[in-house]
Amino acid sequence: MIDVAGLTKYYGPTPAIQDLNFHARPGEIVGFLGPNGAGKTTTMRILTGFMPPTSGSARVAGFDVIDQSLEVRRRVGYLPETVPLYPEMSVSEYLAFMGSLRRVPDLDERIDEVLEQVDLIERSESFVGNLSKGLRQRLGLAQALLHKPEVLILDEPTIGLDPAQIIEVRRIIQDLGRERTVLLSTHILSEAQQVCDRVLIINHGTIVAEDTPVNLQSQLAGADRLTVVAASSSSELVRLLQGVPGVSSARPGGREGEVEVTTAPGQDVRPVVARCVVEAGIDLLELRSAGISLEQIFLQLTREENNPKAGG
């Protein structure tokens, strides 16, 4: 349903996203989790045909977002981060306008249906300008659902809602995710864990982890990865390092003499690993923390979760 390959977007010289690769299957709710400014909105804007990528390709519902933009746009329901509404219209007028742009058949009945679905039916004659933040969010969701899209892309769907509304919106999303592909972004860790079948963690424009919420939880709990390079064969090194206390797994890396080590949460095993290699009479060539620290991102996310006003 969604296939993204090598997607890159630059704003001027600054990369917003770099070489993103991921996919989402039908009937799957995929969460895009990352701190503010990680590139979530940019990715979603590309997938919805709002803006073209600098390079790379993306297919949504089987159509290319650049070459077949209109086909993609027909099949995608999109809730942007700041729900764009026309304040001078009534709720039903607004949906009628969006519905006629999308050529929704039997529009009047369909409008009642989606208003029922998002529990907004008794406000159908209210002016959009008079709706509270939570109701606007629901109206935005109604707009995204109106044409029964195959793919739903929701940018921070629960931001600014009160706890009761958050639970309600999450329930709606979970219902929707049974039949269609949903890609939703959030910077709230617990939300991704509750709602999504799969979570992509994005930071500084690249995907740093991708897994089910349960698996991510264990990774996020503070595990770290090390790359060890030594003047020895990889297999011998693996055998050696598996015995080191604090190392939960060791497997051969990309080249001879390289080993990827996963450590138990919260332990810095680098000194122990170094000593162990040297004491075995092997020359240690390299020992480094492998790239990202999921823990850092995790901390950042939890910080934002505890201070939701920082979100945006």
Partner 1 sequence: MRNLWVIASREFRHYFISPIAYALATMLYLILGGIFFINVYYGLQTGQISPDGRMVIGPMVTILLFATPAITMRLLADEYRMGTMELLLTAPVRDWELVVGKWLGAFGFLFGVLALTWIYPLVLHRMTSPGIDQGTLLAAYLGLLLAVGAMLAIGVFISALFRSSVAAFFVALAVMLGLWIVGGLSSGTGAGAQVAGWLSFVDHYYNNFYRGVLDLGDAVYFVSLTALALFLGAQVVQARRWR
What residues make contact with partner 1 under the rule CB under 8 A?
A: 11, 45, 48-52, 70, 73-74, 76, 78, 80, 82, 84-86, 88, 97-98, 100-103, 143
Cβ at position 22, least distance to partner 1 in Å: 20
Nearer to partner 1, 82 or 130 (CB): 82
Nearer to partner 1, 76 or 259 (CB): 76
Tokens 């639970």, located at residue = 167
Cβ at position 258, least distance to partner 1 in Å: 41
The two beta strands, 258-263 and 181-186, are: unpaired
Nearer to partner 1, 70 or 214 (CB): 70
Cβ at position 260, least distance to partner 1 in Å: 40
Q: Which residues contact 223 (CB under 8 A, 6 or more apart)?
A: 248, 262, 263, 264, 265, 294, 295
Nearer to partner 1, 131 or 297 (CB): 131
CA pair distance 174, 157, nearest whole angstrom = 12
Cβ at position 231, least distance to partner 1 in Å: 51
Nearer to partner 1, 100 or 218 (CB): 100
Q: Are 4 and 58 a contacting pair, CB within 8 Å?
A: yes
Tokens 């981060």, located at residue = 81
Cβ at position 98, least distance to partner 1 in Å: 7
Q: Are 53 and 89 a contacting pair, CB within 8 Å?
A: no
Nearer to partner 1, 44 or 230 (CB): 44
* Joined tokens for residue 95: 């949906």
Nearer to partner 1, 33 or 72 (CB): 72
Tell me which residue of 154, 294, 289, 119 sits closest to 221, measured CA to CA. 294
Nearer to partner 1, 101 or 310 (CB): 101
Cβ at position 89, least distance to partner 1 in Å: 9
For the sheet containing 284-289, what is the strand order? 247-252, 258-263, 224-230, 284-289
Residue 83, number of CB atoms within 10 A of its CB: 22
Measured in degrees and rounded to the nearest 5, phi and psi for residue 287 equal: -150, 110
Cβ at position 85, least distance to partner 1 in Å: 7
Cβ at position 168, least distance to partner 1 in Å: 23
- DSSP secondary structure code for residue 151 in this structure: E
Positions of E strands within 187-282: 198-203, 206-211, 224-230, 247-252, 258-263
